[in-house]
């Protein structure tokens, strides 16, 4: 027994351990926000976390060096870099560039504690199996937002010729040579599409993946694979056709910008009644969000690779249903709900992609939000204002929602477990402070990597 001893906050009676040491009775907040400042100015959008991760995994497919310029420092990127170093890849930073070369790779060397920390690490399975004929990958397990099964990944790899054995928390794959196949995905899973796309790129013959994911990050992975010499057609549609090649070569590749980061700052601007320009970003990647924000009364201006949002007055209520792309992105459901909790009426938000992605709701209620949940649907009745509170983050996008709510609320908020933000947002406090927010991080509780 015995947690991290620290001086418990005033007024909370600490529980003493056997040595009389006070043990943790409350998680110390590490993010402090004084709400009420409308956001103004410009904010730079980084390369997309959800494109960098599969592309990083895909570098395992070639022994040649690959350079990815301008990759942000994100915990999830750092975790996958550590996984690939453990496999034997050479991964190094040259300024903001990430340079990777995978020559002497042990396809059985993925460390369990890292794969379990970040489930996207499972994306190494397809490339390792395709290039080395075998792989042993720890099962990623679930996370806060859902059970996160991998049945569609396995079904596709088996169709490509893999023998799959599960045991001791690992998945073992063997296939002397993968062969083309016709695969139908029961659900357009992003990760399954990416794993199978990577495996098929060096399999013998043609592979089709039907009901494939169409997210921009999947398209970016396909474009990256083509820059290595792969033959992929139909990226961005529901049917991918891949003609396997015998070997892939190195490349330098600029990853697309992060539509979810960009969307987060736009929603924060709408919530605080501000005027912010985000970029660089591909506006068509933000179409579903921009359509809903316009419907809610935000003024939006597109110019080249920049998107400007001005918010005058309260948001109008809207109905939102998250769907695979080109539907509304599930990753922006929590941030948008935070903004709509102050709208001039009742919004209905339905989460169809993950089974447990309303973890931010109890925390928003602590700020005065009026939200009723019925199954996968949340009825959000807007209130005139939220009030600051002590909050706990549960996952990356729920944490972003709490930041948005705190920036718009009256009074001070604290957010504990803010390390979740570091998984997917680079320099978040600095960027919001530059836009006029009163935000600072004190004790860093970020997980030791």
Scanning residues 256 to 275, which ones bind ligand EPZ (CB under 6 A)?
A: none
Give CA separation, 119 vs 6, 80, 346, 351, in Å: 32, 10, 35, 21
- CA angle (146, 335, 218) in 5-degree steps: 60
Residue 8 C-beta: closest distance to ligand EPZ, Å:
32
CA distance 97 to 68: 6
Distance between CA atoms of residues 285 and 259, nearest Å:
6
Indicate which single residue of 259, 397, 431, 441 sits in contact with ligand EPZ (rule: CB under 6 A).
397
User: Which window, 9-17, 145-153, 276-284, 375-383, contacts ligand EPZ (CB under 6 A)?
Assistant: 145-153
Of 192 and 271, the one with the shorter C-beta distance to ligand EPZ is 192
One residue of 149, 169, 205, 345 binding ligand EPZ per CB under 6 A: 149
CB of 188 to ligand EPZ, least distance (A): 7
Using the rule CB under 6 A, which residue among 353, 369, 402, 407 binds ligand EPZ? 353
331 binds ligand EPZ (CB under 6 A): yes
124 near ligand EPZ (CB under 6 A): no
Q: Which of 67, 81, 143, 445 is catalytic?
A: 143
- Using CB under 6 A as the binding criterion, the count of chain residues that bind ligand EPZ stands at 24
Q: Which residue in the set 90, 151, 163, 252 belongs to the binding site for ligand EPZ (CB under 6 A)?
A: 151
Q: Provide the minimum distance between the beta carbon of 433 and ligand EPZ in the complex, in angstroms, as a whole number.
A: 23
Find the part of the chain contacting ligand EPZ (CB under 6 A) among 149-157, 264-272, 295-303, 379-387. 149-157
Q: How many CB atoms lie within 10 A of CB 345?
A: 13
- Nearer of residues 114 and 353 to ligand EPZ, judged by Cβ: 353
**Which CB sits closer to ligand EPZ, 153 or 441?**
153
Q: Is 219 in the site for ligand EPZ (CB under 6 A)?
A: no
Nearer Cβ to ligand EPZ (142/169): 142
CB of 217 to ligand EPZ, least distance (A): 6
Minimum distance between the CB of residue 185 and ligand EPZ, rounded to whole angstroms?
8
Is position 143 annotated as part of the catalytic site? yes
333 or 347: whose CB is closer to ligand EPZ?
333
Q: Please select the residue that binds ligand EPZ; options are 150, 225, 230, 289, rule is CB under 6 A.
A: 150
Q: Which of 202, 396, 408, 437 binds ligand EPZ (CB under 6 A)?
A: 396
- With helix as H, strand as E and coil as C, how does the chain read? CCCCCCCCCCCCCCEECCCCCEECCCCCEEEEEECCCCCEEEEECCECHHHHHHHHHHHHHCCCCEEECCCCCCHHHHHHHHHHHHHCCEEEEECCEEEEECCCCCCCCCCHHHHHHCHHHHHHHHHHHHHHCEEEEECCCCECCECCCCHHHHHHHHHCCCEEEEECCEEEEECCCCECCEEECCCCCHHHHHHHHHHHCCCECEEEEECCCCCHHHHHHHHHHHHCCCEEECCCCCEEEEECCCCCCCEECCCCECHHHHHHHHHHHHHHCCEEEEECCCHHHHHHHHHHHHHCCCEEEEECCEEEEECCCCCCCCEEEECCCCCECHHHHHHHHHHHCCCCCEEEEEECCCCCCCCCHHHHHHCCCEEEEECCEEEEECCCCCECCEEECCCHHHHHHHHHHHHHCECEEEEECHHHHHHCCCCHHHHHHHCCCEEEECCCCCCCC
Interface residues for ligand EPZ in 398-427 (CB under 6 A)?
A: 424
Residues 31-60 that bind ligand EPZ (CB under 6 A): 50, 53
For the CB of residue 272, give the shortest distance to ligand EPZ in the complex, in Å.
Answer: 22
Q: Write down the least CB distance from residue 125 to ligand EPZ, Å.
A: 11
Question: What does the alpha-carbon distance between residue 256 and residue 397 come to, in Å, rounded to a whole number?
Answer: 20
Lookup result for tokens 């904010």: 43
Query: Of residues 157-216, which lie at the interface with ligand EPZ (CB under 6 A)?
Result: 187, 189-192, 215
Does 148 bind ligand EPZ (CB under 6 A)? Our answer is yes
8 A C-beta contact, residue 277 and residue 296: no
How far apart are CB 50 and ligand EPZ at their closest, in Å? 3
The region of 6-14, 142-150, 200-208, 247-255 touching ligand EPZ under the rule CB under 6 A is 142-150
Sites of contact with ligand EPZ (CB under 6 A) = 50, 53, 120, 146, 148-153, 187, 189-192, 215, 217, 330-331, 353-354, 396-397, 424
Active-site positions read 143
């Amino acid at each position: 027994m015995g947690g991290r001893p620290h001086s418990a906050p005033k007024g909370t009676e600490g529980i003493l351990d056997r040595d009389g040491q006070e043990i943790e009775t409350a998680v110390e907040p590490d993010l402090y926000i004084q709400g009420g400042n409308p956001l103004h100015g410009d904010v730079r959008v980084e390369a997309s976390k959800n494109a960098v991760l599969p592309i990083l995994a895909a570098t395992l497919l070639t022994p040649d060096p690959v350079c990815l310029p301008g990759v942000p420092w994100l915990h999830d990127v750092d975790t996958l870099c550590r996984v690939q170093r453990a496999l034997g890849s050479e991964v190094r930073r040259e300024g903001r560039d990430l340079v990777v070369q995978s020559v002497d790779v042990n396809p059985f060397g993925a460390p369990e504690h890292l794969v379990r920390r970040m489930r996207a690490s499972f994306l190494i399975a397809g490339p390792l199996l395709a290039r080395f004929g075998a792989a042993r990958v720890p099962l990623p397990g679930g996370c806060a937002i859902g059970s996160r099964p991998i049945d569609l990944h396995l079904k596709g790899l088996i169709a490509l010729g893999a023998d799959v054995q599960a045991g001791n928390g690992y998945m073992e794959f063997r296939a002397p040579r993968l062969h083309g196949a016709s695969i139908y995905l029961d659900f357009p899973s992003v990760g399954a599409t990416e794993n199978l796309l990577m495996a098929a790129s060096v399999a013998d013959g043609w592979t089709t993946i039907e009901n494939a994911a169409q997210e921009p990050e999947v398209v970016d992975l396909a474009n990256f694979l083509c820059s290595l010499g792969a033959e992929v057609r139909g990226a961005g549609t529901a049917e991918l056709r891949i003609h396997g090649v015998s070997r892939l070569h190195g490349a330098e590749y600029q990853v697309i910008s992060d539509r979810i980061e960009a969307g987060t700052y736009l929603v924060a601007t709408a919530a605080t009644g501000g005027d912010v320009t985000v970029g660089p970003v591909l506006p068509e990647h933000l179409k579903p969000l921009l359509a809903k924000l316009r419907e809610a009364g935000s003024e939006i201006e597109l110019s080249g690779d920049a998107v400007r949002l001005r918010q005058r007055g309260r948001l109008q209520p809207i109905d939102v249903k998250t769907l695979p792309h080109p539907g509304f992105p599930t990753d922006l459901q929590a941030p948008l709900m935070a903004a709509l909790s102050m709208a001039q009426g009742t919004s209905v938000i339905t989460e169809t992609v993950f089974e447990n992605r309303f973890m931010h709701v109890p925390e928003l209620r602590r700020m005065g939000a009026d939200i009723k949940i019925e199954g996968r649907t949340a009825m959000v009745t807007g209130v005139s204002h939220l009030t600051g509170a002590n909050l706990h983050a549960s996952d990356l996008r729920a944490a972003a929602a709490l930041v948005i709510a705190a920036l718009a609320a009256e009074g001070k908020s604290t957010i504990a477990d803010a390390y979740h933000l570091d998984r997917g947002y680079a320099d978040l406090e600095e960027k919001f402070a530059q836009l006029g927010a009163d935000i600072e991080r004190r004790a860093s509780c970020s997980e030791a990597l």
